[in-house]
Amino acid sequence: MVRIKSISKSNQFLLIFVLCIFSFIATALLLGCNNSLSSEEDSHGTWTQIESGVSTPLLDIAFGDDSVGWIVGENGTILKTNDKGSTWEILSDSSMGRLYVLDFINIDIGFTIDRDRMFKTVDGGLTWTQPSVRNLGGGYYVDIHFVNREVGFVVGGEGEYATDGFILKTTDGGANWYRTGDESYPRLTSISFIGEQQGWVCGSGGTILVTNDAGDTWFRSSLLITPGPNLSKIQFVDPSYGWTSSRDDYRGLYWTKNGGETWSQITESSFSIIGGVQSSHFIDRNTGWLCNFPFDRLLRTNDSGSSWEYAAEERVRVNSIEFQGLDAGLLVGNGGVIYKYAPN
């Protein structure tokens, strides 16, 4: 017979305390699913919601010049603006599937990817073709980036579970692709280039790769953290300053001031809510924005990421942030939300 012991008064208090903690966490996670973000004003500027005309999750933003830009998302969602993001035209094509990321070379030529398919437009997003077919064996593309009209890169993972990382390079505008680097990478997730020669790639297990010859050869950098976090985003603003982040890692933000030779992790005291990084964008060496995970709070830094402040009180799952200089910013997220930033 199993005997059930009565709970002492002290243990009752402990149980109530634990239940309160779990209730707080559950409430925070529930709020994180709220897709609305009211127009909030921080000490620098104001985020104002822009009508998107869609309700599907929006996943990435790219601009071809200062005024013309695009957004992609689930169910083949494609939006285009000609006025810096104030209004958006729907160009969606459901046959294109879930569009993760996009990159535009100019106002006409751009690329986007849907798992194991790549699409190219030469008329500003009105029509799309598939310039390259590659059997990824159940794997998928994750990020794409072009350094000029002809040279571009795509990274991801091959194989049944997409665990075998690859870097593909094109030198003819995406008509043909070949593998560069070695054959032993884990899944790779994000690309950043400064100019046409110097670039970085990040991926699972804390993987960071660096090239100084336009992607012909790659060497490994290290966070010096064991086990290595699964990195989901990397961005450099110049040859020295860069950041990489993990959505699921505790204190998931790291930065370098020497081109990736060494990395520092954000300190616990500097992160307003401990968690991972859902999305981020740095404008220059000092100023950056991020949405953390799973709490979906928008934060801003003015000191390279050493400290952060809230930029809005309400919560939304922000999937991509893009700034055209210090003053013109856009963010997109779940529920078809678009917010535009303007300085005070």
CA 69/CA 106 separation, integer angstroms: 10
Question: How confident is the model at residue 27, as a pLDDT?
Answer: 36
Question: How confident is the model at residue 271, as a pLDDT?
Answer: 66
Only one residue has tokens 């005997």, namely 3
For 170, counting Cβ atoms within 10 Å of its Cβ (0-12 exposed, 13-18 middle, 19+ buried), the class is buried
Question: How confident is the model at residue 188, as a pLDDT?
Answer: 97
Question: How confident is the model at residue 9, as a pLDDT?
Answer: 33
Q: Are strands 58-63 and 45-50 parallel, antiparallel or unpaired?
A: unpaired
CA 14/CA 314 separation, integer angstroms: 31
Question: How confident is the model at residue 182, as a pLDDT?
Answer: 84
What tokens appear for 323 in the block?
């700034």
* CA distance between the termini of the chain: 70
- Give long-range contacts, CB 8 A cutoff, 24+ apart: 191-194: 191/143, 191/144, 191/145, 191/153, 191/155, 191/234, 192/145, 192/234, 192/235, 192/236, 192/242, 193/145, 193/147, 193/153, 193/236, 194/236, 194/237, 194/238, 194/239
What tokens appear for 30 in the block?
């529930």
| pTM exceeding 0.75 | yes
Which residues of the chain register pLDDT less than 70?
A: 1-43, 270-274
Domains and their CATH numbers in the chain: 22-343 (2.130.10.10)
